[in-house]
Amino acid sequence: MWHVTETTHTQTTPPGTAGRPRSPEFRLAVDALRGLRQDLFHDAFAYRPLPRTAVDGRLTRHLSDRTRTRAAWTPHAVVVAGGLVALLVGTVNTDVGGPSLLCGLLALAPVLLTLVRPVGAFWLSFAATTVAAVLGDDWGGRPWPPGSFVSHLLVLTIVAGRTRPRTAGWMWVLTALYGFWAETVFGYGNDGSDTGPMLVLAALALLAVTVRHVRREAEQEVTAQQSVTEHERSRRTLLEERTTIARELHDVVAHHMSVVAIQAEAAPYRVQNPPPELEKAFATIRENAVAALTELRRVLGVVRAEDYEAPDAPQPTLADLDGLLANVREAGLEVEKVVTGAVRELPQGVELSAYRIVQEALSNTLRHAPGAGARVEIGYVLGGLGLRIVNGPAPAPDLVKPSPGAGHGITGMRERVSMLNGEMTAAATDEGGYEVAVFLPVPAAAPAIEGGA
């Protein structure tokens, strides 16, 4: 008999550099070097042309089309002008001859390269500075000859404006390392080195560009956030208006279904000795009405807020419009009512929507044009109901305070009109007031059947 014993061996990672947890400082250094490689080494000479500036600002929008087209190239003209300044400084501060022109061109080339390859222009500036320092005869400024000094400052500023703030920091560090390296290798004395002035001026220029860049990004972020907030506010307003309409229609439909159920229950008692088929039919009608009412309350009841209380009185109609106008007049609004056409009873949903539209339009007048007069026109036509609510301009527009709910009432009115397949226009009038025009279609009632069976 053989006895077999299974033994499980657990191999642990030996303590060493591979299994040792990395410190936060190490990870920070690795991330920093990774950012340096991404910003200044990866695709350093990639083609990235300088975009033209926008010409829709307050100063340029009044210019002619031809002038605005030229103004779009302003950043490019500024860069070229800076390059010419570097060319002039590099030529003047070098002995006349071949080296003089070459040093000027070495100062011009990196600046012009920033127009199409900004990161590559930064590296070209180091190479051009080294060549200009070897060829130049002016030993008063090292390691940056005068032309290269101006050129490198321009390159740093332009590249920082076209990249991110982290890139500006890395360019300043590499500029300091280059200055210290040149002083060590070429043995420049402290009196003849211009590394200190270069670093101070470069820090000031990069700081100004970085602050402007951060501020611009903050403004863009705020603008984007405001757009999102406005969209969410509009969406929330739309949902609130639809919820309000659903609550009101729930009350209207529930009232009608209750009437149907009551009439179906009372109908058999109005006929002597009704046949069983008729009693069964009325019972079925009542059962269906009660079931529909239960489902309606169950489904549409979810749109009620926790603190919502159903109104004790029926939903308002156009017959209650005089009371609304009286309340508005007490609030200080002079309003006139004009009714045209044959007044008739309309479906309760149409009456309710028309009442709410007039109510909201007059509320907007009180809010946005206090002191102005208003006129409410109601037209009963063959195919429906027409509404027109118009107000004049505010007597003192400077005293009108901006309302945070501007536009929400218009949204609710449009929802009500859309629900009834109507049409609506809302716009300012030529006199400075505002006009709301609505048409709510009402299908013609079926002719009554005279006589009976």
Query: Where is the domain boundary, 193, 226, 261?
Result: 193
At 413, the amino acid letter reads: M
Q: Is 389 a domain residue?
A: yes
- The reported pLDDT for the residue numbered 139 is 47
Which pTM was predicted?
A: 0.53
- Cα–Cα dist 372/390, whole Å: 10
Statement to judge: residues 339 and 297 lie in one domain: no
Q: Going from the first residue of the chain to its last (453 residues), give the mean pLDDT of each consecutive group of 10, the final group possibly shorter.
A: 43 50 76 81 87 73 75 88 90 67 89 92 91 68 82 93 88 91 70 81 91 86 82 78 71 69 74 78 80 69 54 73 88 89 88 89 86 91 92 72 56 85 91 92 58 34
Q: Is 6 a domain residue?
A: no
Statement to judge: residues 297 and 327 lie in one domain: no
Say which residue the tokens 């659903």 belong to: 246
Query: Where is the domain boundary, 161, 193, 225?
Result: 193
Q: Is 10 a domain residue?
A: no
- Cα–Cα dist 424/418, whole Å: 9
Statement to judge: residues 295 and 324 lie in one domain: no
Query: Where is the domain boundary, 176, 193, 210?
Result: 193
Q: Is 312 a domain residue?
A: no
Statement to judge: residues 29 and 165 lie in one domain: yes
Statement to judge: residues 71 and 172 lie in one domain: yes
Q: Is 313 a domain residue?
A: no
Statement to judge: residues 248 and 168 lie in one domain: no
Statement to judge: residues 374 and 255 lie in one domain: no
- Cα–Cα dist 262/286, whole Å: 7
Q: Is 377 a domain residue?
A: yes
Q: How far apart are the first and last CA of the chain?
A: 107
Statement to judge: residues 262 and 149 lie in one domain: no
Q: Is 18 a domain residue?
A: no
Q: Is 29 a domain residue?
A: yes
Statement to judge: residues 374 and 343 lie in one domain: yes
Statement to judge: residues 159 and 98 lie in one domain: yes
- Cα–Cα dist 422/437, whole Å: 11
Statement to judge: residues 83 and 172 lie in one domain: yes
Domain coverage including residue 112: 24-193
The 3 state secondary structure assigned to the chain is CCCCCCCCCCCCCCCCCCCCCCCHHHHHHHHHHHHHHHHHHCCCCCCCCCCCCCCCCCCCCCCCHHHHHHHCCHHHHHHHHHHHHHHHHHHHCCCCCHHHHHHHHHHHHHHHHCCCCHHHHHHHHHHHHHHHHHHCCCCCCECCCHHHHHHHHHHHHHHHHHCCHHHHHHHHHHHHHHHHHHHHHHCCCCCCECHHHHHHHHHHHHHHHHHHHHHHHHHHHHHHHHHHHHHHHHHHHHHHHHHHHHHHHHHHHHHHHHHHHHHHHHHHHHCCCCCHHHHHHHHHHHHHHHHHHHHHHHHHHHHCCCCCCCCCCCCCCHHHHHHHHHHHHHCCCCEEEEEECCCCCCCHHHHHHHHHHHHHHHHHHHHHCCCCCEEEEEEEECCEEEEEEEECCCCCHHHCCCCCCCCHHHHHHHHHHHHCCCEEEEEECCCCCEEEEEEEECCCCCCCCCCCC
The two structure tokens encoding residue 135: 């060829």
Q: Please report, for the domain that includes residue 356, its CATH number.
A: 3.30.565.10
- The reported pLDDT for the residue numbered 379 is 94
Statement to judge: residues 42 and 177 lie in one domain: yes
What domain count does the chain have? 3
